[in-house]
Amino acid sequence: MKYLMLVPLVLVTSCASHPPKPAFLNLSPPPAVAPPGGVRYPEVVRAYHLGRYVDPDHPGEMHEQHTVYRVEAQSTWNLHPDPASSGSPSAVCALTNAAYSPVPVNDAVAAEVNRQRQITQTMLAEAGRLTGALQQLGQAIRQTRSVARENQQLRQQLNTALKRLDLLQAEIEKLQADPGPTNTPSDSPQ
């Protein structure tokens, strides 16, 4: 951080040690051309004649005399009114917004508008039919789900009933296989 503070000091002293040398021989620029009465001003280019000089950035280089061309001003729009025109604002046609102007009507436009209306009505009718079909499909899906739930419940009840029947069947078979004590009429007390 301390070194960064010394950098501007070194640069200032180095710039002050070399005085600039005059490079231009002709210091007065040539006159600029007056803009024509057109819609744009041309760019202004001036030529500067330079004599021999030593390049300030590279002291080991010397430039021989030559001409340097510099663009002084870019081309711009001429915003001044043309003196040849009437100059009255009424001569300029008023700009209108196309959204507020009436539609030009001819047979082709009227036929196209009617065709578009028919297409729109057909699309609306088809959309209504599609909506009705989708509602019916939704009702059918709901009914199918409720039937599926009822089938699941009936399946569970059937499985429970089958298990009970199997248990009862097993008990009946067990009772038939083991007769146990039977009462005969001779053994019965009288």
pLDDT in tens, 124-139: 999 999 999 999 999 9
Percent of the chain with pLDDT over 90: 37
Q: With respect to residue 15, please indicate whether it lies within any of the assigned structural domains.
A: no
**Across all residues in the chain, what is the average pLDDT?**
80
Q: What is the pLDDT of residue 39?
A: 77
The answer to whether residue 27 sits within a structural domain is yes
User: What are the start-end ranges of the E strands in the chain?
Assistant: 40-41, 44-50, 53-54, 62-63, 66-73, 76-77
Query: Is residue 62 located within the same domain as residue 115?
Result: no
- 137 lies in some domain: yes
151 occurs within a structural domain: yes
> Mean pLDDT throughout 47-61?
90
Residue 21 vs residue 164, higher pLDDT: 164
Are residue 113 and residue 165 in the same domain, yes or no? yes
Residue 100 lies in a domain: no
Distance CA(67)–CA(64), nearest Å, equals 10
Residue 99 domain-assigned?
Answer: no
Examine the pLDDT at 33 and tell me if it is beyond 80.
no
Lowest-confidence segment of 55-64, 66-75, 103-112, 168-177 by average pLDDT? 103-112
Percent of the chain with pLDDT over 70: 66
The whole-number average pLDDT for the span 109-136 is 94
> How many separate domains does the chain show?
2
Burial (CB count within 10 angstroms: exposed 0-12, middle 13-18, buried 19+), residue 23: middle
Closest CA to 46 of 36, 32, 27: 32
Q: Look up the domain containing 141 and give its range.
A: 109-172
Q: What is the per-residue pLDDT for 3?
A: 64
The answer as to whether 186 is a domain residue is no
Residue 102 lies inside a defined structural domain of this protein: no
For the segment 136-151, the average pLDDT, to the nearest whole number, is: 96
Integer angstrom CA distances of residue 16 from 21, 57, 62, 141? 13, 14, 21, 92
**Which amino acid is present at 52?**
R
What Å distances lie between residue 83 and 37, 39, 87, 89, 100, CA to CA? 8, 12, 7, 13, 34
Decide: 61 and 54 in contact? Cβ < 8 Å.
yes
> Is it the case that residue 146 has pLDDT exceeding 70?
yes
